[in-house]
Amino acid sequence: MANDDLQMGGRGEANPDDLVLPFRAELSGVNGRLVRLGAVVDGVLRRHDYPEPVSVALGEALVLTAMLGTSLKHGSRLTLQTQTDGPLHLIVVDFEPPGRVRGYAGFDRSSPVVGDGTIGQGVLLGHGHLAMTIDPGEGMDLYQGVVPIENDPLTKAALTYFRQSEQLPTFIRLAVARHYKRPLHGAADGWRWRAGGLMLQHLATEGGHEMKHELGDDEELPLLGDDDEDWERTRFLAETVQDYELLDPTLAPERLLLRLFHEEGVRAYRARPVEERCKCSEQRIRTMLSRFGASELSDMIMADGRIRVTCEFCSSVYYLMPDELGVTS
């Protein structure tokens, strides 16, 4: 393959949004994924209408979860969750293959830090942990990796996860911002959220050395010989990517890969589409409420005699009559 040719695995460039595009730098043998989210991230963030720093953090979590979740098998689920003592105390994102994602955040609305775009994300998150939980489905055991967050941005916590849980050399770049698009049909607001991400991983080669010990915070993953040079060279190329390139709707993902890695002979594979889809339903709400006792359900009854439940993920509102749940007035 010539260095200036990008080989694609069956996808054109008509829709550059809401996808995860796996690729491989052939010369170095480094694998990667490029993420572009348009309508998906805009739908989630506009619906919740969080302060901008909270929206950016949740947008990054959506990109990261989609980036990792597309490698899972059908019937499984990946959940990314942060729990911290900072003003942004909770982020939850669910991903179900082939590409269904949803997410929400919990934060202190009274904190002045929440609305201050000059404050770093590490201050917003504070101290706590990041958990990645994989449910393989079909009665199989859950797998969970947990790493600390110590006034760190989400990207650094994710890198710590890969260092300690998967012990793979990893590069991650995430970008989230609002992009102005000319309104159509008289719409008043032309600002739309966009998000993107780039990840590289250097997988162990056959006969390579297996990691047997916990890595320190400042300890580099050991690579030997040409592997080390290949990884460093490809990571250096990835570090040249700019946020606007990850977000630009006019720059097709394949063109960006070619721009970054043409010297490596980059091969793009079939893109994995991503969509926003919540699993909530009236039946699920009924099942959830059935776990509460009669006195607890009575406390939920509003002045109009109904029980109101709002889905944290998609903000859908469900109203149920107490007698339908076996609760009498």
Minimum mean pLDDT among 94-98, 145-149, 189-193: which range?
189-193
- Given this model, what pLDDT does residue 116 score? 85
Q: Determine contact, residues 149/82, Cβ cutoff 8 Å.
A: yes
Strands 19-25 and 170-180, bridge-based pairing: unpaired
pLDDT tier, 225 (very low <50, low <70, confident <90, very high otherwise): very low
CA-based diameter of the chain, in Å?
76
Q: Determine contact, residues 54/86, Cβ cutoff 8 Å.
A: no
Give Cβ neighbours of residue 82 (< 8 Å, ≥ 6 apart). Answer: 61, 88, 90, 91, 125, 128, 129, 130, 131, 149, 154, 157
pLDDT tier, 328 (very low <50, low <70, confident <90, very high otherwise): low
pLDDT tier, 188 (very low <50, low <70, confident <90, very high otherwise): low
pLDDT above 50 (res 94):
yes
d(CA 77, CA 98): 10
pLDDT above 60 (res 10):
no
Residue-range domains of the chain with CATH: 16-276 (3.55.30.10), 282-325 (3.90.1280.10)
pLDDT above 70 (res 290):
yes
d(CA 36, CA 247): 7
Average pLDDT over residues 222-237: 75
Q: Determine contact, residues 225/55, Cβ cutoff 8 Å.
A: no
- Given this model, what pLDDT does residue 15 score? 59
pLDDT tier, 129 (very low <50, low <70, confident <90, very high otherwise): very high
Minimum mean pLDDT among 52-61, 135-144, 212-221, 275-284: which range?
212-221
Average pLDDT over residues 72-91: 95
Gap between the terminal Cα atoms of the chain: 74
